[in-house]
């Protein structure tokens, strides 16, 4: 069953890994600061234009680059990466401390990581495909129990 690059038609789980509130506030402060600097140097009108345009550009960039976790009848998809359900192995839920260790001192350099700052928990999904260079995926999630349940249910179909 070739599923490379193809998504299913019936998603059973979806989660967007939105940036944290802190990231949005930081981006807003930085773009407004840039507008203030330009306003002092070149006039208030240009400062307002720079602040508005950079704030909009950064907001669009944050939204467009927000990865989606999706499970359907064919794949487990995280961002642009797809793992056919037939190659999903053991699934492990990690708390904040376990997640930190798993992405640092206990990390496998060949693993696939989709991590988002501000999201404390994660799951590790074993990859059973012998052709795949990634032994597992570590994925940030705000809903680890729902993700694991959906992945286990979709895998067993």
Per-residue pLDDT band at 9 (split at 50, 70, 90): confident
Per-residue pLDDT band at 81 (split at 50, 70, 90): very high
The Cα–Cα gap between 68 and 103 comes to: 20
What pTM was estimated for this model as a whole? 0.81
The predicted model gives 138-142 an average pLDDT of: 95
> DSSP letter string over 30-82?
HHHHHHHHHHHHH-HHHHHHHHHHHHHHHHHHHHHT--EEEE-SSEEEETTEE
Give the DSSP H or E segment for 154: helix 144-155
Report whether pLDDT(5) > 80: no
Answer whether 98's CB lies under 8 Å from 124's CB.
no
Percent of the chain with pLDDT over 90: 76
């Amino acid at each position: 069953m070739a599923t490379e690059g193809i998504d299913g038609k019936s998603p059973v789980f979806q989660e967007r890994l939105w940036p944290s509130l802190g990231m949005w506030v930081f981006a807003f402060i930085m773009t407004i600061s840039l507008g203030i600097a330009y306003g002092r140097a070149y006039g208030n009108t240009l400062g307002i234009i720079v602040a508005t345009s950079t704030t909009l550009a950064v907001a669009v960039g944050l939204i467009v680059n927000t990865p989606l976790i999706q499970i359907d009848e064919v794949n487990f998809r995280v961002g642009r990466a797809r793992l056919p359900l037939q190659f999903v192995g053991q699934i492990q839920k990690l708390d904040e401390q376990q997640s930190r260790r798993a992405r640092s001192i206990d990390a496998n350099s060949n693993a696939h990581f989709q991590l988002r700052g501000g999201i404390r928990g994660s799951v590790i999904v074993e990859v059973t495909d012998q052709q795949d260079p990634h032994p597992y995926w570590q994925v940030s999630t705000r809903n680890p129990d729902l993700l694991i349940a959906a992945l286990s249910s979709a895998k067993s179909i």
